[in-house]
Structure 1
Amino acid sequence: MQLSNKLKILNDPIYGFITIPNSLIFDLIEHKYFQRLRRITQMGMSYLVYPGAHHTRFHHAIGCMHLMQKAIQVLRFKGVEINYDEQNALLIAILLHDIGHGPFSHAMEHSIVNGVSHEHISMLFMEELNTEFNNDLTLAIKIFKGDYPRKFMCQLISSQIDMDRADYLKRDSFYTGVAEGNINSERLITMLNVRNDELVVENKGIYSVEKFLVARRLMYWQVYLHKTSLSAEQLLIRVLKRAKELTKKGVVLSASKPLLYFLQNEIELKDFTLESLETFSKLDDYDIISAMKDWQYHDDFVLKNLCSMIINRDLLKVKIKKKAIKPSLLLQHKKDLIKKFNISEAEADYFVFTGEISNQAYTLKKQGISILHKNGKIEDIVKASDQLNLKALSKTVTKYYICYPKEKL
């Protein structure tokens, strides 16, 4: 096995050439757990609104690793000591930070597994890989968990200006064609520094940070919380819930073995065994799409209509309001549906429902973004900026939605 064969170069449409730095990272990328990310869409059902949004978690993870390489290079140049083991651990932690995502990214967390977050599954995958790779991931896991004493390293993985956000905003903006989200991640990284073991941004980068926060807010309203992709994701969650409900009643559904495993078993955090993890590693978007293509011809009124709506992009009507939806409006839509199709109220609940969405581009209470002035003073971006909007961006804006069928199912 020659080492030179493992130092590959990938061509990325955002950053150009990305180098895989060593054989360990090459072997992790080659592993079946990581290769699964090629079959997990980065933006869930957003491609139903933005046709170009077909990029995957694989793209994103590689992009994050590339930005981490840049950040390490910049910090070392500024005199921050990062040894080889720490460098490797940072690259591995950011590479694997999303490895636990299920099909269509978030839908599964709210339907066929109960209270098991993708972060927890990522942790389980990393621990399993650590066993397989002779404990070479131990330090990466420490940093990923936020347990490493060098705080700035944990911030590079997870904070309000981490490498994850620096990549997904730029990448999602590129693939959706939404120019408002296009941030200058290279400049942001060039402006990074470390003071008192915490990540700071030099004051020359203040406008880049402002642009970053405004871009995040716009991307959430325009893309991530777009009413059509919101409707599609809610339908997908309901497809999986209905499939699970029918399976529990003894209805036999055709599906892949990994999907059937999660439909037939109640999987909670305490039940997430090594067998569950191995089965989860075989589950991706294709299992769900394939099942829905079949289920759209099922006898069950709810399942067949939900699947047909997603497959043929004939989604529910969505209205977003500033005030909470009146219960009387919800009830009226349900009554209309029950009367029209002679279905039960429980079945109508799958097609008529309300919810809320919120957007907070910056969190003041959480570990903020610190600006380093030339005189050595450090202050929060909200105080350092002359952009009055930034304080407003730290307030949570909540909106309410109602979904109901169009004229006919």
Structure 2
Amino acid sequence: MKRQTPNKLKILNDPIYGFIQIPNSLIFDIIEHPYFQRLRRISQMGFSNLVYPGANHTRFHHALGCIHLMQKAIRVLRFKQIEITKEEEKALCIAILLHDIGHGAFSHALEHSIVHGISHEEISLKFMKKLNDEFDGKLDLAIEIFEGNYHRKFFYQLISSQLDIDRLDYLKRDSFYTGVTEGNISSDRLIVMMNVNDDQLVIEQKGIYSVEKFLIARRLMYWQVYLHKTGLVAEHMLVNVLLRAKELAEKGDELFASTSLRYFLYNEINQDNFTDETLEMFSKLDDYDILSAIKEWTNHEDKVLSLLSQMIVDRKLLRIEIQKDAFDVDQINKKISKYSKKLNLSEEETNSFVFSQEIKNQAYNSEKPIFILNKKGKLKDIAKASDQFNIQALTKPVIKHFICYPK
């Protein structure tokens, strides 16, 4: 009896867009690959669920949402007589599907603690090249587009720009799962208004108000969600826990850790020595490794590690103050001295509990403009085309400073 080949043209149900189609068997096989399945175990928003309890969605969700929006964008552009071949369509879908595959556990925390000098975009590219070997070069074009080397520049803009498919999904998705309605953009309308002019991705005049809303939504989501003070504290405490664990590992202390986490704690990993073995270990590291380690580290004899871990597990976080101007160095030193005595730690150890940094929010970068195509076929930067003074103001980065210390 002939064995049936599995049906790879699946339809998935997404709470935001409804049904999402997997367009071809190659994309199905990439989604089935362990590298991609790992994204089910990487939260999209790190510790934001300590503020917004519904924010438990994953990078896996987001990547599938992106492929859905990319298919929609391709249909719209073809309708407007922009020729996109079947091969280009497949490559665009693969590039957007894999754009975040290099994210580490809890998204950005690893980049600032146990892996140095290599960004998640560079790790994404390493994953894509490894998958390309496994799939006999079928990702060549997707990689060329992802690196911005393909001759049709608007393809790269669909993957990475100020109005790319990535942002159109994560703003809408994060808004949905947090319940913060200010971020609920009309990704459908923005895509329908897309066009290509002189190999540039542009938005037609009729879509100008949707772009304005998108930029304002992005600004509000950053202040209200991504840079929310509680989320900020939790993420910096996580970075400090991992830095402390790394420090102890370098001294030869024995730490509880999964095989993959142990590899990154007990080896110095940077861009120069990020080998195939490192990539394999990275592909097995996810939020669960970090959380299980932190739970176990609450019992560790090192006071800094155990106390920080316990605070994260119990959600007894540090206090945070945010202001426009930088905090006075004397003020910070006084707090370090005060809490050093209270916690019975050295001043150097107290730096894990008392620290000051800055945050930056720039909703629109005019160096990489979003162009509006008017009815005469002329292009104008949204900041100049809009009659909203707000948009011009959004081009200026807003910098704030924060200090954290024990309650």
TM-score category, normalised to shorter length: over 0.9
Task: Give the C-alpha shift of residue 4 in structure 1.
Answer: 6.5
2:394 corresponds in structure 1 to: 393
1:28 paired residue number: 30
Give the C-alpha shift of residue 339 in structure 1. 1.3
One-letter amino acid of the counterpart of residue 112, structure 1:
I
Residues 159-200 of structure 1: CA distance to partner in whole angstroms, max 9, x if unpaired?
000000000000000000000000000000000000101000
Letter in 2 for 1:398: I
RMSD value over aligned CA atoms? 0.8
2:383 is aligned with 1:372: no
The one of 8, 12, 36 equivalent to 1:6 is 8
* Equivalent AA in structure 1 for residue 125 of structure 2: M
For residues 224-276 of structure 1, give each alpha carbon's deviation from its aligned partner in whole angstroms, at most 9, with x where no partner exists.
00010000000000111000100111110011000000000000101100000
Name the amino acid aligned to 1:381.
I
Within-5 A mapping of 1:303-318? 303-318=305-320
Alignment of 1:93-242 (within 5 A): 93-242=95-244
- Give, in whole Å, the separation in 2 of the partners of 1:340 and 1:81: 68
Looking at structure 2, the residues matched to 167 and 340 of structure 1 have their Cα atoms a distance apart, in angstroms, of 46
Tell me the number of residue pairs that the alignment of Structure 1 and Structure 2 aligns. 405
Q: Which residues in structure 2 correspond to 1:86-97 (within 5 Å)?
A: 86-97=88-99
Taking the aligned partners of 1:145 and 1:178, their CA distance within structure 2 comes to 33
| Deviation by residue 1:330-383 (Cα, 9 ceiling, x = unmatched) | 111111111123211110000000000000000011x21000111111111011
Q: Distance in 2 between matches of 1:3 and 1:314?
A: 52
Deviation string, structure 1 residues 57-115 (Cα, Å, up to 9, x no partner): 00000000000000000000000000011000000000000000000000000000111
Distance 2:347 2:252 in 1: 21
How far apart are residue 147 of structure 1 and its match? Answer: 0.6
Counterpart secondary structure, 1:325:
coil
Q: Which runs of 5+ in 1 are unaligned?
A: none
**DSSP-derived class of the 1:271 partner:** coil
Does residue 256 (structure 1) correspond to residue 258 (structure 2)? The answer is: yes
Query: What is the aligned partner in structure 2 of residue 55 from structure 1?
Result: 57
2: CA distance, partners of 1:243 / 1:126: 30
SS of 1:6's equivalent in the other structure is coil
Deviation at 1:297, TM superposition (A): 1.1
Question: Letter of the aligned partner of 1:401 in structure 2?
Answer: F
Query: What SS does the corresponding residue of 1:267 show, helix, strand or coil?
Result: coil
* Structure 1 CA distance for aligned equivalents of residues 6 and 105 of structure 2: 34
Q: State the AA in 1 paired with 2:127.
A: F
Distance 1:3 1:218 in 2: 48
Alignment partners' CA distance in 1, 2:267 and 2:309:
22
Distance 1:345 1:135 in 2: 54
Which letter does structure 2 place at the counterpart of 1:359? N
SS in 1 for 2:321: strand
Secondary structure at 1:217 match in 2: helix
Within the candidate set 243, 263, 273, 2:275 is matched to: 273
Give a deviation string over 1:306-345, Cα, whole Å, max 9, x none.
1011110000000001100011111111111111232111
Separation of aligned partners in 2, 1:297 and 1:205:
56
Give me the whole-angstrom Cα distance separating, in 1, the residues matched to 2:110 and 2:354. Answer: 20
- Corresponding position: 1:245 with 2:242: no
C-alpha distance in 2 between matches for 1:341 and 1:59:
42
Find 2:290's aligned residue among 288, 291, 314. Answer: 288
TM-score for the superposition, normalised by structure 2: 0.99
Q: Does structure 2 conserve the Cα–Cα contact (< 8 Å) formed by 1:338 and 1:348?
A: yes
Distance 2:278 2:6 in 1: 36
1:29-49 C-alpha deviation (Å, 9 max, x unpaired): 000000000000000111100
Kindly provide the amino acid, as one letter, of the partner of residue 16 in structure 1. G
Q: For residue 303 of structure 1, report the CA deviation from its aligned partner.
A: 0.2
- Does the CA contact (< 8 Å) of 1:96 and 1:122 recur in 2? yes
- Identity across the alignment (%): 66
Distance 2:189 2:307 in 1: 48
Q: 1:38-77 to 2 correspondence within 5 Å?
A: 38-77=40-79
Structure 2: gaps of 5 or more residues: none
Contact 1:125 1:277 in 2 (8 A): yes
Residue 3 and residue 91 in structure 1: after superposition, are their counterparts in 2 closer, same or farther (change >3 A)?
farther
TM-score of the pair, normalised by structure 1: 0.98
